[in-house]
Amino acid sequence: MSKLNEKIEHYTAASKELKLGLSDDLITKVTVGLGPSIYKQDAETVSCSDSSELDTVKKNFLQKKLGLTASDADLDAAIKKVCEAMGTSNRHKYRALFYALLTKEFGKESVYA
């Protein structure tokens, strides 16, 4: 099994464990879209306590990748909702799952079609 398939399998299992309700297809597409960053321990996860990282998620993923034009308050609220959905005490908020939840939250699955 390739390293990519191992990561996808790991993220899919984590999604089911956290009861996130994400499709395996969306997890796969988001994981592939993240490229080599999923293999770097620090880049693989999102820290909800790091405001600069959350700003980067907002600017680079929500606004650039998904093309969202919603207000900063709406985007911040969605990011906070995803942080809570993944569990505030969960230290492994995988970026692939985080981005998949945001994609689903805004109904932008077509970006990964």
pLDDT of residue 10: 97
- pLDDT surpassing 90 at residue 113: no
- pLDDT surpassing 90 at residue 89: no
pLDDT of residue 73: 96
Domain count within the chain: 1
Q: Is the sign of the CA dihedral 73, 78, 82, 85 positive or negative?
A: positive
Check which CATH number belongs to the domain holding 23 and give it.
1.10.238.120
**Mean per-residue pLDDT for 88-98?**
92
The pTM (predicted TM-score) of the whole model is: 0.95
Sequence-distant (≥ 6) Cβ neighbours of residue 47 within 8 angstroms: 53, 93
Cα(49)–Cα(27) distance, rounded to whole angstroms? Answer: 24
For the stretch 22-78, pLDDT in tens is 999 999 999 999 999 999 989 999 999 999 999 999 999 999 999 999 999 999 999
- pLDDT surpassing 90 at residue 1: no
Domain that holds residue 47: 3-112
| Long-range contacts from 20-24, C-beta under 8 angstroms, 24+ separation | 20/85, 20/86, 20/97, 20/100, 20/101, 21/104, 22/97, 22/100, 22/101, 22/104
pLDDT of residue 91: 87
DSSP reduced 3-state for 71 = coil
